[in-house]
Structure 1
């Protein structure tokens, strides 16, 4: 019996847990010889494909030179190169790069930056404003600014209060904007949002003009705007950042997942200069108190630098556009099938519901998971919400397999 306790896994159900031995592109190979199509980028992280040669080579070379070094008061070239590389492709106003380890910790850093900014200014602003159905991670601060429910109900005593504005569902966008304006008028510290796509909340999409209006409301009220692009960044919505589609530049930007091409954990929180300056002082008590042992790990930074090189040297956005077109074409067929509702696409992502309204603990969820697993596909529905978010390197034939299996599931399971 394995001693491993897996995340988001109810071991009491006795579901099989395949063991993967190696991977390449969009394909996973298991110990029993199966060829699995990774249709969700291994939890949304793998952009260019598994074991990309340039990323693997960069980590191998770095491992022979420097594996790890404390980053408090020390530095190394991979981190310096990565910070400059990010500044070159991210919005010009985001001048500072703070390293951490995961999407959740990048959000924790963002929240602490925001509160530290107001504290340093001598203004008592503590309330964080969030969007309904949002998800920002599983650490305490990240859970606090996410939707309350099955993900975190056991930990409610640990979570801090937030102001929640309704999701801008079609026809109800103004209610969102009005609620945000009221929350900002009450002297909020920051508004945190997943731009254009809410991931774990059910792959919920909203239009760019709403994001732009939300940003304008925050700017008018002097409320810091935090964009959590952990999932939406690195091309998932069709552009490098989702914020680009709304002409939005956040005050604080969270990046992870595709930052290293999905190869190893790394995250950054980028901030505008006034936030850094608020912490700058000759008083040691005003420093930014956050770190981890592996902040800016050199191996991870080397992987991220290789990812930036791929974005510079290769036609990544052309691949993104091609994948988006194939996804949309597949969705057009799936949308016509009985039992399918809410068929939608955004960039390289498609999603739909089977069997009615979305519900994370839908009894259909485990059946769908098993159905796809038995067909050698890595698809992990969010309850009865089925979504496809593959690496950009997936072949047309493998993507067709994924779409066909979803169609088969509609016929077999959704009736």
Structure 2
């Protein structure tokens, strides 16, 4: 029997925030001096509502996952129906229609010649699988390669493989001595592209190049041009280096097309997906690959098997949520909304780009980022970050700055009125903060 003296008891006198503080450890949070966490009790469209009834515009799509709005009735209906049919089954030795149907519908709309789907739980695990596929591909072919190429300031997740291919930062400081060695290169531009191509052509024993296409998200919404990435992918192909597109954040419409890699002539060998995959309803990760990569694992030798799996691999409920989200994504109205948000952002960019406090402003698709001018503190830990975060919360807007960088990355159903309200709040912050 549990020790009753150690049990946390429900105190009816405490609100949800106070109860949270007793039992919860939150992500990316120094719990000693953290502000009280806001208790959200329901969501509807682009809004979430707290315990006191205050409404917030979710302008960052709840960490970039929500693409169709909260509590979407169609997704909710499909999930509810699936719960009464099959909630889960082991995916080793068994299969089910939601997983097969999702793969059948997803592969044809992905850029390039993606041929197989491997299911996992989230973006980090999708990246882990991609890295393992590449490293073992060369091992299975009898030509082992151990080096990996990635961008400086990249972010690919918080598991150890994903951390290793991410830029070294405060997120990785405590673990740097345990991460495997990766070669990091600068984002390509007109000044360095020739040097980067030459460098890649001379690389030896490099298994793969992993990249966030067009936008480095957590690195500060750093954006670069497709034409230069295209040239890097061409150089990798010539040097027999496999390529991994981490479309965890950019996938499902964020860059103005369904997938960022649609804007490339050279397509990746592997694509990682998560976040918007289920419409933000629940966790699911996908790693897709070409036929060539898959066939390198086909063998009578059991040691050439990809030994990777998760308890909830291809969860039927998550697959059905993804199918429902795809139904909505592929409607003409959704693409119209994506283009509408993109156009609104472009107008706002022109309105504030010359403001003295705007150090830089950049946009790709439905994502716009404003870099605040500061004296010296520009890191993730900048005090300006907390000031801005609180400023917007007070106005009923969830904008979670990356240091001195504010970005808007909303669900596609956001109205023009709500966008205008967010823009006006940012203009006010530029004058007041």
TM-superposition CA deviations, 1:262-282 (whole Å, max 9, x none): 111111000001111111122
Q: Distance in 2 between matches of 1:404 and 1:122?
A: 59
1:111 maps to 131
Q: Is the 8 A contact 1:167 1:176 kept in 2?
A: no
- With over 3 angstroms needed to count, the CA separation of the structure-2 counterparts of 1:266 and 1:398, relative to structure 1, is same
Residue in 1 aligned with 2:330? 312
Query: Any idea what the Cα deviations from partners look like across 1:183-222, whole Å, max 9, x if unmatched?
Result: xx32200000000000000000000101110110011111
User: Could you tell me how far apart the structure 2 residues matched to 1:135 and 1:175 are?
Assistant: 23
Gap change, CA 1:359 and 1:173, over 3 Å in 2: farther
Between structure 1 and structure 2, the one with the greater Rg is 2
Distance in structure 2 (CA, Å) of the matches to 1:302 and 1:134: 31
Q: How does 1:353-392 map to 2 (within 5 A)?
A: 353-356=371-374, 358-392=378-412
Structure 1 residue ranges, 4+ long, deviating more than 6 angstroms after superposition: none
Shift of 1:92: 5.1
Q: How many residues align?
A: 411
| Pairing 1:5-404 to 2, within 5 Å after superposition | 5-91=25-111, 93-168=113-188, 171-182=191-202, 185-356=203-374, 358-404=378-424
Residue ranges of structure 1 left out of the alignment (5+ in a row)? none
Q: Which runs of 5+ in 2 are unaligned?
A: 1-20
CA distance in 1, matches of 2:54, 2:61: 18
TM-score by length of 1: 0.96
Describe the superposition over 1:308-366 as per-residue Cα deviations: whole angstroms up to 9, x where unpaired: 21233443221110110011112222223221111111100111111237421212111
After superposition, the Cα gap between the structure-2 partners of 1:149 and 1:345, relative to the gap in structure 1 and judged at 3 Å, is same
- Report Cα offsets for 1:70-108 as digits up to 9, x if no partner: 101111100010010112211351100000010000000
Q: CA deviation at 1:115?
A: 0.7
Q: What SS does the corresponding residue of 2:23 show, helix, strand or coil?
A: coil
Distance 1:372 1:95 in 2: 44
Q: Residue 382 of structure 1: CA displacement?
A: 0.1
Q: Partner of 2:181: helix, strand, or coil?
A: coil
C-alpha displacement of 1:170:
6.1
The 3-state SS of whatever aligns with 1:407 is helix
Root-mean-square deviation (Å) = 1.4
Q: Secondary structure at the match of 1:65?
A: coil
More displaced, 170-179 or 195-204?
A: 170-179
In structure 1, C-alpha distance between the alignment counterparts of 2:332 and 2:78, rounded to whole Å? 16
Q: CA deviation at 1:13?
A: 2.1
Counterpart secondary structure, 1:210: helix
Query: CA offsets, 1:139-193, max 9 Å, x none?
Result: 00000000002111101122000111112256444344343333xx322000000
Measure the CA separation in 2 of the matches of 1:234 and 1:190: 24
Structure-2 separation of matches of 1:51 and 1:190: 39
Contact 1:338 1:411 in 2 (8 A): no
Contact 1:25 1:48 in 2 (8 A): yes
* Aligned-partner Cα distance in 1 for 2:131–2:61: 27
Between the aligned partners of 2:147 and 2:129, the Cα distance in structure 1 is: 16
**Matched-pair contact (CA < 8 Å) for 1:41–1:389:** yes
For residues 295 and 279 of structure 1, the distance between their equivalents in structure 2, rounded to whole angstroms, comes to 19
